[in-house]
């Protein structure tokens, strides 16, 4: 049962930080988000995995702020600084419906957790006006199981980015020592709800979990540990996008060993390890792009 009333902002515990701040009164927690919904951008996104893009693109809505502080953040202005436009739930519902009218294959909610009360209301409003798109929950995986259970039935496709395995690496690179344990519990709950990713006859995602993992230079053991857990503890049928496009952004530029791009050898080492584990649903949407980048370098 969905129980995410706006009063949740009064003592906010929507994410694992459990700041308990009164956002309505102007108090700010770790994420920096206030009580007003803030959207950075929305568009038909053709840069996602092929199974999400289809012919019409993924209907992406980028929410401002974030519950992590990744040193390698590629969207610093939106995630750290919270840049965006304040809107209400009714306007967000209109955006959802516009994305559907334009032909989007799905509704892709990007970093939504700290605005869930607004988003749930907007989805209810939009569905009352004919919204039928599959809902994609695009997240860092730093999510509370309790909150995920509250939205069970509302999400069709979970898209977690499982970043790091050890507490030390998570603290150093993302500012959250408990990230690995939280992510494992969250992804397990996502899988319980929707299972392995199911595709239609055209290869479009319908329902299930799609795991992303950005391979970080100098942290290949983190990647291998994550893949081992996915294969042995979650499901050998897990659909995984091993992302090789890492480039040093934001604070990473002055933080060895993440102050350089990923090499072809590093990428191939992790890819080979995935094959050795028996993981066979490995997304290759951007493989040619990675190869072009490595040849250019």
For every residue of the chain, DSSP letters joined together read -----GGGGGG--SSTT-----GGGT---TT---SS-EEEEEEEE-SS-HHHHTTT-EEEEEES--S---TT-S-HHHHTS--SEE--HHHHHHHHHHHHHTT-SEEEEES-GGGHHHHHHHHHHHHHTT--PPEEEEE-S---HHHHHHTTTT-SEEEEB---SSHHHHHHHHS-TTHHHHHHHHHHHHHHHH-B-EE-TTS-EEEEEEEEEE--TT-HHHHHHHHHHIIIII-TT-EEEEE------GGGGGSTTSSSPPPHHHHHHHHHHHHHHT---B--TTHHHHHHHHHH-
Q: Is there a domain that residue 73 lies in? A: yes
Does residue 86 register a pLDDT over 70? yes
**CATH number of the domain encompassing residue 76:** 3.20.20.70
- Residue 93 falls inside a structural domain: yes
Is residue 100 scored above 90 in pLDDT? yes
Would you say residue 33 has pLDDT above 90?
yes
Residue-wise pLDDT tens digits, 230-256? 999 999 999 999 999 999 999 999 999
Confidence of residue 6 (pLDDT cuts 50, 70, 90): confident
The range of the structural domain enclosing residue 60 comes to 6-296
User: How many folded domains does the chain comprise?
Assistant: 1
275-295: per-residue pLDDT in tens?
Answer: 999 999 999 877 766 766 666
**pLDDT single digits (tens) 215-234:** 999 999 999 999 999 999 99
Domain membership flag for residue 143: yes
Whether residue 1 is contained in a domain is answered as no
- Domain for residue 270, yes or no? yes
> What global pTM score does this model have?
0.96
The reply to whether 129 falls in a domain is yes
Question: Would residue 268 count as lying in a domain?
Answer: yes
* Domain assignment of residue 130, yes or no: yes
């Amino acid at each position: 049962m969905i129980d995410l009333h706006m009063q949740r902002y009064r003592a906010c515990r929507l994410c694992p930080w459990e700041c308990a701040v009164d956002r309505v009164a102007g108090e700010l927690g770790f994420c920096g988000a206030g009580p007003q919904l803030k959207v950075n951008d929305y568009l038909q996104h053709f840069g996602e995995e092929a199974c999400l893009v289809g012919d019409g693109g993924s209907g992406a809505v980028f929410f401002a702020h974030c519950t992590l502080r990744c040193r390698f953040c590629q969207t610093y202005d939106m995630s750290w600084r919270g840049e965006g436009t304040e809107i209400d739930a009714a306007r967000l519902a209109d955006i959802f419906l516009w994305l559907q009218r334009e032909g989007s294959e799905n509704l892709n909610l990007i970093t939504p957790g700290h605005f869930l009360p607004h988003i749930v209301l907007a989805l209810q409003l939009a569905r009352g006006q004919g919204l039928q798109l599959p809902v994609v929950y695009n997240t860092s995986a730093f999510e509370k199981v309790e909150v995920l259970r509250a939205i069970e039935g509302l999400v069709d496709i979970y898209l977690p980015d499982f970043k790091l395995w050890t507490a030390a690496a998570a603290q150093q690179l993302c500012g959250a020592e408990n990230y690995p344990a939280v992510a494992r519990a969250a992804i397990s709950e996502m899988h319980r709800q929707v299972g392995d990713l199911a595709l239609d006859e055209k290869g479009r995602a319908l329902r299930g979990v799609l795991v992303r993992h950005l391979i970080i230079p100098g942290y290949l053991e983190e990647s291998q540990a994550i893949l081992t857990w996915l294969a042995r503890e979650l499901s050998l049928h897990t659909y995984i996008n091993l992302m090789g496009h890492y480039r040093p952004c934001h604070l990473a530029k002055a933080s060895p060993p993440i102050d350089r791009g990923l090499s072809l050898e590093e990428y191939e080492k992790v890819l080979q390890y995935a094959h050795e584990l028996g993981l066979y649903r490995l997304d290759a949407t951007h493989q040619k792009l990675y190869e072009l980048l490595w040849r250019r370098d």
